[in-house]
With several copies, the nearest count.
Chain A
Amino acid sequence: MARTRFIQAINDAIREEMERDEKVFVFGEDVEASIFGDTAGLAERFGKRRVRNTPISENTLTGMTVGAAACGYRPVLHIMFANFLFTGMDGVANQLAKARLMSGGQIELPATIIASYGGGRANAAQHSDTPYSAFMNLGGVHLVVPSNPADAKGLLKSAIRSNDPVLFFEPGGRGGEMGDVPDEEYLTPIGKAAVVRQGGDLTLISMGSTMRMTIQAADQLAEQGLECEVVDVRTLAPLDEETICAAAERTGRVVIVDESRERASAASHIAAVVAEKSFGHMKAPIRRVTARNAGLPLAPASEQYLLPNVDKIVAAAVEISENGRLPA
């Protein structure tokens, strides 16, 4: 184990996979200079043939990803901010998510797209969306959302090795966060959630950027006498319904925390799955703590107001706890 920065774990994952398989190449706007640091140093190591700075042309970038993947390569597209996925949406929604199905399974599409998402840093509305929920509905792309350096590395390595397309959503602005990362090689499986904490009173379910506040909320609730089971969903598509439902059923009380907007969110979906599959075990309303249904303003307090936070999670948990209030 080594204490590793989040961004470094991502960088390590790409480097290791580029070493392993020369069909892997990285491209995107300024991947050499690397604003976030996740592709830093790769051009020096692997050369400009495999680390390609591109023009600003998101529609073509996503479409190229499909073409290169269908023709034998393993492209890793760095799209920078997740909002730019919308700018290049056709290549994802109409091509990447459909090309294999439409071909009757002729091809593999080993493509990875890295996107940094999320608000809370006064980046204003066009640089702070959490769009994974919208992509969940596309059906044809896997979605991973790591919450810590170890998972980031393990999930990204799995994504790059996957013969199916994977969108890797990197919680924005968390690059500096440290976490323990195994020294030996490992993969974190796509499609497996993790129970990161045990507790019999309540189940908190979250992913990516909101995991930290979810765990803080669990700490706070524990201090107040409510023990929470905490699930890190890690993969939104395919969704590990088994682990999620089992954790939900163990307590019968569920709060789902998700940074995306409320409507048709990952949280809504997980709630629906629990309400459908684990209904008989539920003892209380299934609560969701999400962003509100609006774009994010610049003004920091107004922005924060719209986002999930520890207090909102605690309040939701308390509301559905056994007594409907905090234990004394």
Chain B
Amino acid sequence: MSKNLSPDVSECLELLKTMYVIRYAEEQLGDDFAAGKLPGGVHLSIGQEAVSAGICAHLTDRDKVSSTHRGHGHFLAKGGEPKHLIAEIYGKEEGCCRGMGGSLHVADYSKGIIGANGIVGAGIPVATGAALANHLDDDGSMTVVFFGDGASNQGVLQESMNFAALWKLPLLYVCENNQFGQFSPTATVTAGVISDRAKAFDIPVEVVDGNDVRAVWQTMAGAADHIRSGKGPVFIEAHTYRIRNHFEREHLVIKTPYRTEEEVEKMRRERDPIEMLQEWLKDENLADEATCQAIDKDAKTLVDEAVAFGDAGTPPPLDVGEKYQFVGTSS
């Protein structure tokens, strides 16, 4: 896979914006949850924004993304509207899924976002079917499936890799190894190196610093090239870290700590993907403080507007459940 391509300044600024939007949207959702404003729970990907941003920068609406219970970042990076995300999580009719899915199920098929998934690992077979559709379409489109280190222990990963390798499906596996599955440190429930599991299928593997958005972007550039040219699947293992709780306010139910405050603090301080990119841009004199602040502000405004949009939204009609269950038509 070619590796020399790296994002130019304007691409870097786009990545920065995407990460800011994810960050602000999720901080908002965290606050909302704490305030008792959300109908359901949320799993935030704060600290992991670089993976979503770097991967999805290379995708178009024709490409599909299949996501996880921690899927806000994937949704936003893939072009989903912040207002549709927020309204959805607020349980409003104006949400991307008309308030039917919520955080666990955000989807916008018009943008190729084929759904977050509440069943850990289940996005993998769904994505395999989407990649088969890409393959049959034969138009250079591809599918990306995001999944966690914990999800890697679902057997469907092996099953899917076998399909993708055999049929040379245009499918990118992105394992977001954030070092925990719920309250279990990865190594306590996961043997070996996750991405090694792809090697038995002769699937090319890349391991990348998932907090370095430029590195993710660069790795993805090569992977997307490979996949779009019909050479079959690629597996990227992105090392990152979940700074926030598994779900918000988990301490209300989880009494024994599964990691130290210091560890989290250190990651927050030293490995924030937004800070890392901004510092690099400044060090390299590619962007000054003002430029970054403007992007920050734009993102904040976008999220504020999204929140206003969500707040102004209406609860769906009572009887929509059965209405949306079936389409009732035939071809």
A-B pairs with the 8 shortest C-beta distances? A63-B125, A67-B129, A104-B98, A298-B102, A64-B129, A126-B118, A71-B133, A57-B159
Select one of B136, B143, B182, B253 contacting A25, CB under 8 A.
B136
Cβ-based interface call for A299 (8 A): yes
B115 and A73 form a contact (CB under 8 A): no
Select one of B115, B160, B184 contacting A53, CB under 8 A.
B184
The tally of residues in B whose CB lies under 8 Å from a CB in A reads: 86
Could you say which of A92-100, A148-156, A196-204, A266-274 contacts chain B? A92-100
| Bound form: Cα–Cα A139–B321 in Å | 11
Q: Which residues of A63-89 are within 8 A (CB) of B?
A: 63-75, 83-84, 87
Cβ-based interface call for A323 (8 A): no
B183 and A123 form a contact (CB under 8 A): no
B331 and A57 form a contact (CB under 8 A): no
Binary contact readout A101-144 vs B (1 if CB under 8 angstroms, 0 otherwise): 11111111110000000000111111100000000000110100
Question: Using Cβ atoms and an 8 Å threshold, which residues of chain B touch A301?
Answer: 315-316, 318
Question: Using Cβ atoms and an 8 Å threshold, which residues of chain B touch A37?
Answer: 253
Q: Which residues of B57-116 are within 8 A (CB) of A?
A: 64, 66, 88, 91-93, 95-102, 104-105, 107-110, 114-115
- 10 new A-B contacts at CB < 8 Å, known A58-B154, A124-B100: A35-B182, A56-B153, A62-B125, A63-B125, A64-B128, A67-B66, A101-B325, A106-B108, A292-B321, A299-B39
Could you say which of A160-168, A243-251, A310-318 contacts chain B? A160-168
Q: Which residues of B124-163 are within 8 A (CB) of A?
A: 124-134, 136-137, 143, 150-151, 153-156, 159-160, 162-163
Cβ-based interface call for B273 (8 A): no
Question: Using Cβ atoms and an 8 Å threshold, which residues of chain B touch A73?
Answer: 132-133, 136
Select one of A25, A32, A54 contacting B256, CB under 8 A.
A32
B97 and A104 form a contact (CB under 8 A): yes
Cβ-based interface call for B4 (8 A): no
Cβ-based interface call for A33 (8 A): yes
Question: Using Cβ atoms and an 8 Å threshold, which residues of chain A touch B118?
Answer: 83, 94, 124-127
A101 and B321 form a contact (CB under 8 A): yes
B126 and A59 form a contact (CB under 8 A): no
Cβ-based interface call for A60 (8 A): yes
B126 and A64 form a contact (CB under 8 A): yes
Q: For the complex formed, measure the closest distance between the CB of A183 and the CB atoms of chain B, giving whole angstroms.
A: 22
B316 and A30 form a contact (CB under 8 A): no
Cβ-based interface call for B270 (8 A): no
**Known interface pairs A70-B114, A71-B130, A164-B326; A299-B253 also in contact (CB < 8 Å):** no
| Bound form: Cα–Cα A58–B317 in Å | 36
Question: Using Cβ atoms and an 8 Å threshold, which residues of chain A touch B166?
Answer: 55
**Known interface pairs A33-B182, A33-B254; A302-B64 also in contact (CB < 8 Å):** no
- Most chain-A CB neighbours within 10 Å: which of B129, B316, B322? B129
Question: Using Cβ atoms and an 8 Å threshold, which residues of chain A touch B189?
Answer: 53-56
| Bound form: Cα–Cα A306–B321 in Å | 7
Select one of B98, B104, B125, B253 contacting A35, CB under 8 A.
B253
B122 and A94 form a contact (CB under 8 A): yes
When A and B form their complex, what is the total count of cross-chain residue pairs whose Cβ atoms lie within 8 Å?
291
B184 and A30 form a contact (CB under 8 A): yes
Question: Using Cβ atoms and an 8 Å threshold, which residues of chain B touch A36?
Answer: 253
**Known interface pairs A124-B104, A298-B99; A67-B133 also in contact (CB < 8 Å):** yes
Q: For the complex formed, measure the closest distance between the CB of A283 and the CB atoms of chain B, giving whole angstroms.
A: 32
Cβ-based interface call for A296 (8 A): yes
Q: Which residues of A281-328 are within 8 A (CB) of B?
A: 292-303, 305-306
Select one of A63, A105, A108 contacting B129, CB under 8 A.
A63
Q: For the complex formed, measure the closest distance between the CB of A119 and the CB atoms of chain B, giving whole angstroms.
A: 11
Cβ-based interface call for A91 (8 A): yes
Cβ-based interface call for A265 (8 A): no
A33 and B125 form a contact (CB under 8 A): no
Cβ-based interface call for A214 (8 A): no
Q: Which residue of B lies closest to A64 (CB)?
A: B129
Cβ-based interface call for B260 (8 A): no
A103 and B163 form a contact (CB under 8 A): no
A67 and B127 form a contact (CB under 8 A): yes
| Bound form: Cα–Cα A63–B147 in Å | 15
**Known interface pairs A54-B163, A63-B125; A94-B91 also in contact (CB < 8 Å):** no
Cβ-based interface call for A21 (8 A): yes
Cβ-based interface call for B280 (8 A): no
Question: Using Cβ atoms and an 8 Å threshold, which residues of chain A touch B132?
Answer: 64, 67-68, 73
Cβ-based interface call for A158 (8 A): yes
A99 and B325 form a contact (CB under 8 A): no
| Bound form: Cα–Cα A102–B101 in Å | 4
| Bound form: Cα–Cα A52–B95 in Å | 37
Q: Which residue of A lies closest to B119 (CB)?
A: A94
A302 and B125 form a contact (CB under 8 A): no
Question: Using Cβ atoms and an 8 Å threshold, which residues of chain B touch A83?
Answer: 118-119
Question: Using Cβ atoms and an 8 Å threshold, which residues of chain A touch B330?
Answer: 158, 161-163
Q: For the complex formed, measure the closest distance between the CB of B196 and the CB atoms of chain A, giving whole angstroms.
A: 16
| Bound form: Cα–Cα A297–B117 in Å | 14
- Most chain-B CB neighbours within 10 Å: which of A29, A33, A90? A33
Question: Using Cβ atoms and an 8 Å threshold, which residues of chain A touch B121?
Answer: 56, 87
B126 and A95 form a contact (CB under 8 A): yes
| Bound form: Cα–Cα A140–B327 in Å | 11
